[in-house]
Amino acid sequence: MRGWVRVLVVMVLLPILIGGVLLLVAGRPLVFEVLRWRTADKFPEVKWIKTDELTSWQEDTGQPQPVLLDARTPPEFTVSHLRGATLIDPYRPSLRALRGVSKDSAIVVYSSVGYRGARVASWLRNAGYTTVVSLAGGLFKWANEDRPLVREQGRPTSIVHPYDQRWGLLVEGKYRAQAPDVEKRSAAP
């Protein structure tokens, strides 16, 4: 009997404990990376840009700036978005948001954690846009890193719409807006 207890502890309980400790230590960054991997599996043609890479790009005023597309809902966009972003419907995207933008222009699409952004990025690539990337970790990761956000009329803010109570746990409490859940129309925010 003692042998089975040891096997149970070594083969089952110990890996669970190690996994729990890793999750506590690695926390949200690990979750964001796992979500990106899963989303990349669904949209393998989508290329990704990291938050620090986008920040560097935006700070380099000597190079052309990307078109920023926010693939979230209007209530989410109203709470906060990236400066200069244009809202695009993640469920029924339209090229109206890109009127006057050439098909070889750099475009960065983002959403809450990246799923809806990748979905729109995939759609744009299929529509012939050649330089489209999705923001890894989305606006949640961007906010958690205390990067700049704006709301209406470009006024600075530090909060982000949490999408819903469950997904909102990926946003640090100090950045999480008190807002009603978004109507669920996709598998992930």
pLDDT tens per residue, the chain (189 residues)? 666 666 655 566 655 655 444 444 457 888 889 889 999 999 999 999 999 999 999 999 999 999 999 999 999 999 999 999 999 999 999 999 999 999 999 999 999 999 999 999 999 999 999 999 999 999 999 999 999 999 988 999 999 999 999 899 999 999 999 998 888 776 566
The answer to whether residue 8 is domain-embedded is: no
The answer to whether residue 105 is domain-embedded is: yes
pTM for the model stands at: 0.84
The answer to whether residue 18 is domain-embedded is: no
- Residue 27 has a pLDDT of 74
- For residues 90 and 185, give the distance between their C-alpha atoms in angstroms, rounded to a whole number: 10
- Residue 25 has a pLDDT of 46
Give CA torsion, residues 31, 36, 37, 43, to 10 deg: 150
The answer to whether residue 100 is domain-embedded is: yes
Using the Cα atoms of residue 185, residue 135, residue 73 and residue 166 in order, give the sign of their dihedral: positive
Question: What is the domain range of residue 147?
Answer: 28-175
The tally of domains found in the chain comes to: 1
- Residue 48 has a pLDDT of 97
The answer to whether residue 141 is domain-embedded is: yes
Q: Which distant-in-sequence residues (6+ apart) come within 8 Å of 46 by Cβ? A: 39, 40, 118, 121, 122, 125, 132, 133, 134
> Which CATH number characterizes residue 82's domain?
3.40.250.10
The answer to whether residue 5 is domain-embedded is: no
The answer to whether residue 16 is domain-embedded is: no
The answer to whether residue 97 is domain-embedded is: yes
- Residue 184 has a pLDDT of 75
Side-chain-facing half-sphere of 72: CA atoms under 13 Å: 29
**Chain centroid to CA 146:** 14
Nearest to 82 by CA among 142, 20, 23: 142
- Residue 4 has a pLDDT of 65
